[in-house]
Chain A
Amino acid sequence: MPLTAIYTILISLALILGGIWAEDNLNLLPVVASSNAPIYDELFRVLFVIGIILFVGMTALVIYSLITFRKRPGQTSDGIAIEDNLPLEIFWTAVPAIVVLFVGLYSYDIYERMGGMQLASNNSHDHSLMMKDERIWGGIGTAQEENPEGALSPVNVEVTAMQFAFLFNYPKGEIISGELHVPAGRPVSMKMDSKDVIHAFWVPEFRLKQDIIPGQPTILNFTPTKIGRYPIICAELCGPYHGGMRSTVVVEEPEEYESWFNKNSKIPEVAL
């Protein structure tokens, strides 16, 4: 049956190319504005292409079977009595297993590159933020490899969430702000705590989300890369005004950030 083989190969190729085309031409994700967003989008692209291939392939198989093997008028006999086919079943157990293993390992690699496998307590240079005995729950963050020693020190921010607002506290300048200001290109390390119920900190353009849990501070690290104003969204049901619990993160040029910092700081000189 070489013809069937050729068809199979052609159809598979069309599916793969179609999947890649669809991914490139559909605008499925918001702007990229942090250093781990492009890594995320890479994973998304791979998952999307595999997903489209599987979905279109399965759907096509079902529709093809329904049409080709439909009962014609006058047919009274049954279909053929095939009950199993071991090689075939081994094949379609092995293929998904390999695909899934590939996806798992690949996403592990992505996670590693995002800094997710590091313990949060090693992640920040500023130990004043973290008392040694305090239990810090790991958040995902920018890998330290990308910020070798001697590089820019992180901007430390303490985030307090409450029904229904975020408060951003810059301990260095004793600033308390309702908006998050961060300089582009510099790592930010946030320690987040909640006064009442569980909230979550989400910036879609950063592809990052972390719950803010009362009684258990969490850490979130990221490096903003693109100048702009992006929404901060609370993503955990926190009461009637949950939908309105939003704020803004302002990613600015380092100089602009500095002047904002100086204008609001209670301590005169900037400690970069």
Chain B
Amino acid sequence: MSISVPPNTEQSSKGIQPTGWLRYFSFSLDHKVIGLQYLVCGFIFYLIGGALASAIRIELTSPISDFMPRDVYNQVLTLHGTIMIFLWIVPVVNGAFGNYLIPFYVGARDMAFPRLNAVAFWLIPPAGLMLISSYFINGAAQSGWTAYPPLSITTPAAGQIVWILSVLLLGGSSIFGGINFIATILKLRRPGLKLMQLPMYCWAMLGTSILVVLSTPVLAGTLILLSFDIVAHTGFFNPSLGGNVIVYQHLFWFYSHPAVYIMVLPAFGLVSEILPVHSRKPLFGYATMVYSIMGIVVLGLVVWAHHMFTSGTPPWMRLFFTIATSFIAVPTGIKFFNWVATLWGGRISLNSAILFSCGFIVNFVLGGITGVALAQVPFDVHVHDTYFVVAHFHYIVYGGSVFVIFSSIYHWYPKFTGKMLDEKLGKIHFLLTFIGFNLCFAPQHWLGLNGMPRRVAEYDPQFTFVNQISSVGALLMALSTLPFLWNVFHSAFRGESSGDNPWQALTPEWLTSSPPPVENWVGEPPLVTKPYGYGQSQLSKEIPNSFIEDKK
């Protein structure tokens, strides 16, 4: 091919950029460095959020409030929810993997706006530190990650304002990221590469970024109005000044329901990259996968009020949102059947990456089923704001996104470092996580159905035993990070060398050295038009020979 991809001049002109490990601590413009910065930073926040989760579960081992004061419990709960969503999952499934992979996938040397990209990342650490430090200043926010007024207006103002500021910064960061991804996917594509030839993760990120760009500004505006209510005593949402609290809920969920898809759509994309490689089969139903992503984007924008079935919404609205929500199960179902069809008839290597991906499929199916149930108004009216909902959304966010993050780390670690992760430790990690997760969250369905509301530090003693089981599960999950952390650190230094393409994958990031050079490819980027061409011999024409040697 004679088309040349221009080097990223911005980067090249900066000869002063640090090299080696130091560059991960600098204001780098390299998308790969930024991606790993997102990943590591997110993981640190995950550990903090996980410590808070453990504190919550310790409190809940007994029916009385004895481990921490009640207002501290609410602060811990609020911090946990906010950190896990805004500082761990959203930045990692979007920022980390998006930054690392998207330029490779479109055949570019960097993101469309490298500086904006770096700024988007560097907004995160200060926002997170500010959020957490508010706990030590005057008490963190304590009205839950939803910050419903009037509670958020009447609880101590300092923590709530810091919470709003940090969420605004994080929202800004994700908007910058979203714009950058849209521009990169649509504008930096290598000439000759058609949209329908892109790896699935590009489509997932395109859909996600559309959601980010459309819905995050609504959250920002809402929170700004809320902060006016708190500091300037305006009455947008304050009923004692004539405000309307339901309007806040509509605006909040207009962002926060799509936020669920901002957390799971990229995860869907990542799984679509991982399954074909390790089962040595093409991704099944590429076109329907693309359409189902777009279907989820459209439906995802019109279902927010299913979070408000008990808020006194009028009957027609409940009906509309029930039907719209239920129908998301259709495009989602398509994706799941396609993944299973991808496995079907393959040559599956049962490694940690595939185990976490399949664990994701199983967990997410259960989360999806309880989701359809929750969409039914009469069902929701009983279990809304109970532990049933806590179980449901952890099956989605943990069983979905977090499992996929781990799967992705096992899959791309050789790319990041040039070293293999230890498989035995990986499998121990998987087993502990899978068992701990299900032990922790499955019993919570029963708790909710039988009368335990969420966000409580004290509960009816009849629920003690089941809560203790759940806490044991949480403990196992906490333990499960140890083999993982050891594996990641130990393998970085002592790990077996992976070579450039240990999985013999066909997507473009593997068609360069591991770890890749600064501008991704030393020569011309390869034009990969069949990223999932496993089992097809004619591919040898398009892909460098070194890498299909094993193939017949």
Question: Chain A interface (Cβ within 8 Å of chain B)?
Answer: 28-30, 39-40, 43-44, 47, 51, 54-55, 58-59, 61-62, 65-66, 69-71, 75-85, 88-89, 92-93, 96-97, 100-101, 103-104, 107-108, 110-111, 114, 116-119, 137-140, 196-198, 200, 202, 204, 207-211, 213-216, 218, 231, 233-244
Assuming the contacts A66-B358, A69-B345, A137-B312, asked whether A93 and B326 have C-beta atoms less than 8 A apart, the reply is: no
* Partner of B154 from A84, A85, A108, A196 at Cβ < 8 Å: A196
Q: Which residues of A contact B65 (CB under 8 A)?
A: 243
| Chain A residue with the shortest CB-CB distance to B539 | A81
CB nearest neighbor in B for A243: B456
Are B347 and A235 interface neighbours, CB within 8 A? Answer: no
Residue-by-residue, is B303-336 near A (CB-CB < 8 Å gives 1, otherwise 0)?
0000000111111001100110011011001101
With A62-B343, A209-B381 in contact, do A103 and B288 touch (Cβ < 8 Å)? Answer: no
**Could you jot down 7 A-B contacts, CB within 8 Å?**
A77-B551, A85-B341, A89-B288, A214-B240, A215-B239, A240-B71, A241-B70
A-B contact number at CB 8 A: 282
The answer to whether residues A58 and B365 also contact, given A197-B150, A239-B151 and a CB cut-off of 8 A, is yes
Q: Which residues of A contact B450 (CB under 8 A)?
A: 28-30, 204
For residue B300, give the distance in angstroms from its CB to the closest CB of chain A: 16
* A-B complex: 4 closest residue pairs judged by Cβ atoms: A137-B312, A215-B239, A243-B456, A81-B535
Are B551 and A78 neighbours in the complex by a CB distance under 8 Å? yes
A137→B309 CA distance, assembly (Å): 12
Chain B residues close to A by CB (< 8 Å): 65, 69-71, 73-74, 142-144, 148, 150-151, 154-155, 239-240, 242-246, 279-288, 310-315, 318-319, 322-323, 326-327, 329-330, 333-334, 336-338, 340-341, 343-350, 354, 358, 361-362, 365-366, 369-370, 372-373, 376-379, 381-382, 384-386, 446, 449-451, 453-460, 532-536, 550-552
Q: Nearest Cβ in chain A — how far from B494, in angstroms?
A: 26
Residues of chain B contacted by A107 (CB below 8 angstroms): 322, 376-379
* Residues in B whose Cβ lies below 8 Å from that of A235: 310, 384-386, 453-454
A238 near B347: Cβ-Cβ < 8 Å: no
Closest Cβ of chain B to A122, distance in Å, is: 11
With A83-B286, A197-B151, A215-B244 given, is the CB distance from A243 to B333 under 8 Å?
Answer: no
Partner of A200, one of B350, B354, B385: B385
Chain A contact residues, majority secondary structure: mixed
Residues in A whose Cβ lies below 8 Å from that of B282? 81-83
List chain A residues, Cβ under 8 A from B533: 81
A197 with B154: in contact, given A59-B365, A65-B340, A207-B381 (CB under 8 Å)?
A: yes
Cα-based distance from A40 to B312 in the complex (angstroms): 19
- Once the chains bind, are A58 and B361 in contact (CB under 8 Å)? yes
CA distance in complex: A228, B199 (Å): 60
Query: Given known contacts A55-B365, A110-B378, is B312 in contact with A80 (CB within 8 Å)?
Result: no
Chain B residues in 8 Å Cβ range of A116: 315, 318, 377-378
B284 / chain A contacts, CB cutoff of 8 Å: 82-85
Q: Are A114 and B378 in contact (CB under 8 A)?
A: yes
Q: State how many angstroms separate the Cβ of B42 from the closest Cβ of chain A.
A: 27
* In contact, B369 and A51 (Cβ under 8 angstroms): yes
Closest to B457 in A: A243
How far, in angstroms, from A211 to B426 measured CA to CA in the complex?
A: 46
The answer on a CB contact under 8 Å between B369 and A138 is no
Residues in A with CB closer than 8 Å to B244 are 215-216
Known: A119-B315, A241-B70, A243-B70. A76 touches B458 (CB 8 A): no
Chain A residues with CB below 8 A from B348, complex form: 65-66, 69-71
Are the CB atoms of B334 and A92 closer together than 8 Å? yes
Complex interface: chain B residues within 8 A of A69 (CB): 279, 343-348
Q: Chain B contacts of A59 at CB under 8 A?
A: 362, 365
Q: How far is the CA of A39 from the CA of B377 in the complex (A)?
A: 13
Q: Are A84 and B330 in contact (CB under 8 A)?
A: no
A69-B279, A215-B245 given as contacts; is B346 within 8 A of A79 (CB)?
A: yes
**Chain B residues within 8 Å of A65, by CB:** 340, 343-344, 346, 348
Q: Which of B311, B349, B369 is the one whose CB lies under 8 Å from A71?
A: B349
Across-interface contacts of B456 in A (CB, < 8 A): 242-243
Whether A79 and B280, one on each chain, are in contact in the complex, defined by CB atoms closer than 8 angstroms, is: yes
A176 to B323, CA, bound (A): 41
Q: Would you give the shortest CB distance from B153 to chain A, in whole angstroms?
A: 9
Across-interface contacts of A208 in B (CB, < 8 A): 381-382
A87 vs chain B, min Cβ distance (A): 12
Contact B460 A231 (CB under 8 A): yes
A83 to B386, CA, bound (A): 43
B341, A236: Cβ atoms closer than 8 Å: no
- Report if A210-B451 is in contact (Cβ < 8 Å); known contacts: A93-B330, A215-B245: no
